[in-house]
Amino acid sequence: MARRLLARGYELLIRDVDEAAVRQLKAEPRVTICASPREVAAQAPVVLMSLPVPLALEEVALGADGIVTAGATPCVIDLSTSGVKAARKVAGALAAKGIRYLDAPVSGGVAGAEQGTLAVMVSGNTELFATWKPLLGIVGRNVFNVGAEPGLGQAMKLAKNMLSSTA
């Protein structure tokens, strides 16, 4: 996903605990490596997160050096598959600090990410969705608004996974 954004001319501030992932992008022009999620959030107009488990999501968003501590980010878009409960918890905590949140889990795997053909199931404020839909369209071919309530994107992703497993 990062490479697709770079190919479209975006500048990226990145933070990842996986040093191999950081090394892959470190030499790219328009990439700045940050020391913490807080550092990213303090400088970015939007933060995209794609994290492996709900605990990581909560740490990056709400931890001691997390996004919530920066207080400056106007929007966080969560591309993780973290579950309804985690999405709602993070959305509520960020909203309490004036940070807007879109729950936007993706489906399509590594190949979909590389080709920009992911499905993106977004829930959250509809005006915020409209603002950031073009950005999400760079990483996903099918970008859907599934409702205004955070967590509905997660619910849709889980339903999609269940339906896919029956085919």
> Which residue numbers are catalytic?
157
Cβ proximity of 143 and 122 under 8 Å: yes
Closest CA to 153 of 21, 2, 49, 15: 49
Helix or strand run (H / E) with residue 58: helix 54-62
Q: In 3-state terms, what secondary structure has residue 60? A: helix
